Amino acid sequence: MTKTTISQVHKYVDQEVTIGAWIANKRSSGKIAFLQLRDGTGFIQGVVVKAEVPEEVFQGAKSVTQESSVYVTGKIQKDERSPFGFEMLVTGLEVIHQAVDYPITPKEHGTEFLMDNRHLWLRSRRQHAVMKIRNEIIRATYEFFNEQGFSKIDPPILTGSAPEGTSELFATKYFDEDAYLSQSGQLYMEAAAMALGKVFSFGPTFRAEKSKTRRHLIEFWMIEPEMAFYEFEDNLKVQEEYVAHIVQSVLKNCSIELKTLGRDTEKLEKVTAPFPRITYDEAIKFLQEKGFDDIQWGDDFGAPHETAIAESYDKPVFITHYPTSLKPFYMQPDPSREDVVLCADLIAPEGYGEIIGGSERIHDYELLKQRLDEHKLDMDAYKWYLELRQYGSVPHSGFGLGLERTVAWISGVEHVRETIPFPRLLNRLYP
Ligand code: 4AD
Ligand code: MG
């Protein structure tokens, strides 16, 4: 018998095949049983008709439990009603392992219960769809940067530096030295850009932030491109083209998953380059006019502020030129105005908040040294980073896109905990 997967059944219409699968759900009466089968590649309904199969096959279908593993054999038929387009008329069923009392039943469960059972929750239709979209975003990321001539570079995870501020670090011992888990690969990516021109990284980053919001993870994955000879404007252009590319790729390649999640795809279709921009100054004025009375120039934006700004646009929006005092030491000041930096945050629509932080980097040795001093950072740890400004320093820029916030936005799921296989949250390290 030909063994195949659910995603390949379209090649076997009117033929008999065998699929290794799990029983996602089941309904049966005296004469017929409907098996909702899943194999990781997709979902298909298996129909078992008592009158057409040996008695033990029908009894097997009647007694098989949710999440049992099976080899199921049958004829593939077109089925207009199925979201997948096909069903299987079952002729044989071999139970590999009978599951007992699978904890996640088709009824509603609370979030904490589901999170405790994350290792099983991943099997559900919704979680499967979110993971497929995450996978598509990763695939489209490599596609985009490879096509644009970037090289993938892997910065270290164990580091001696703190690019995004010293208060959110996971410290660990590195034999006799102090080390930290990486908050961002950026500083190393700057060194790599001086060697390879255009580079990008994709890896885990860690923030010991005591935040318990729907946008914060302790461990999250970031895509960090860095480009030599790219100035502020060039940087924004890469970002809008990249984000538009991943959104359009998900629309094209994940239509079943978007449908499973009930995502409004009309909103995603509008996400094409260029993206609108406003300056920090304009954003402050806008918020004050909207009635956010307590916000003043120099304050950082919270989630309600970002949401209010994003609501005015149907695409992601860049907020540019933040006050120098709000941003990390490495950002290039605006040459026409020292109190703001050449940076931009990209705010996603529909309340998903900041998905990208980026900037032009300081390339002047003296200025960078002064900034490290002002931020009271350890010169020894940054010696190598300063040296990049001593040997053929050039203007350069880059950014970091948070994968989970991007997955949440594109999938339309409320909370980032559903966008990473095993979320690390405040008070959660299990499973
Ligand atoms: O704005 P951030 O802190 O920027 C940097 O780390 C820069 N060094 C990046 C660079 O220029 N190479 O983080 C970048 C993005 C944010 O916009 C957000 O999407 C995501 O990373 N992010 C988080 N995602 C989930 N949980 C958290 N705790 C996050 N913190 C940041
Ligand atoms: Mg940021």
Q: Three-state DSSP class for 298?
A: coil
Cα gap 210→99, rounded to integer Å: 39
| Preceding omega of 421 cis (within 30 degrees of 0) | no
User: For residue 40, what pLDDT is reported?
Assistant: 97
Pocket of ligand 1 (CB under 6 A): 163-164, 184, 186, 207, 209, 216-217, 220, 222, 224, 354-358, 398-400, 402, 404-405, 416
Q: CB burial class (10 A; 0-12, 13-18, 19+) of residue 241?
A: middle
Walk me through the domains of the chain, giving residue ranges and CATH numbers: 2-97 (2.40.50.140), 118-418 (3.30.930.10)
Tokens of 186: 């950026």
Q: CB burial class (10 A; 0-12, 13-18, 19+) of residue 49?
A: middle
User: For residue 305, what pLDDT is reported?
Assistant: 97
Q: Three-state DSSP class for 266?
A: helix
User: For residue 162, what pLDDT is reported?
Assistant: 75
Cα gap 75→52, rounded to integer Å: 12
The one-digit pLDDT tens for each residue of the chain (431 residues) are 899 999 999 999 999 999 999 999 999 999 999 999 999 999 999 999 999 999 999 999 999 999 999 999 999 999 988 777 899 999 999 999 999 999 999 899 999 999 999 999 999 999 999 999 999 999 999 999 999 999 999 999 999 877 777 779 999 999 999 999 999 999 999 999 999 999 999 999 999 999 999 999 999 999 999 999 999 999 999 999 999 999 999 999 999 999 999 999 999 999 999 999 999 999 999 999 999 999 999 999 999 999 999 999 999 999 999 999 999 999 999 999 999 999 999 999 999 999 999 999 999 999 999 999 999 998 999 999 999 999 999 999 999 999 999 999 999 999 999 999 999 999 999 99
> 357 C-alpha vs ligand 2 centroid, how far in Å?
5
Could you tell me how far CA 201 lies from the centroid of its own chain? 14
User: For residue 161, what pLDDT is reported?
Assistant: 77
Residues 342, 334: contact at Cβ < 8 Å? yes
Residue nearest (by alpha carbon) to ligand 1 atom 18: 402
Question: For residue 163, which atom of ligand 1 is closest to its CA?
Answer: 8
User: For residue 81, what pLDDT is reported?
Assistant: 84
Cα gap 381→45, rounded to integer Å: 59
Indicate the DSSP class of residue 52: G
Tokens of 269: 């279709």
User: For residue 163, what pLDDT is reported?
Assistant: 74
HSE, CB side, 13 Å, CA atoms: give it for residue 395.
14
Residues 237, 275: contact at Cβ < 8 Å? no
User: For residue 135, what pLDDT is reported?
Assistant: 98
> 189 C-alpha vs ligand 2 centroid, how far in Å?
17
Cα gap 297→280, rounded to integer Å: 9
> 357 C-alpha vs ligand 1 centroid, how far in Å?
6
Q: Best of 184, 360, 418 to mutate for ligand 1, by most ligand atoms within 8 A of CB? A: 184
Residues 217, 111: contact at Cβ < 8 Å? no
Please say whether the dihedral angle defined by the alpha carbons of residues 430, 207, 221 and 173, taken in this order, is positive or negative: negative
User: For residue 165, what pLDDT is reported?
Assistant: 74
pTM: 0.97
User: For residue 200, what pLDDT is reported?
Assistant: 99
Cα gap 128→135, rounded to integer Å: 11
Question: For residue 406, which atom of ligand 1 is closest to its CA?
Answer: 19
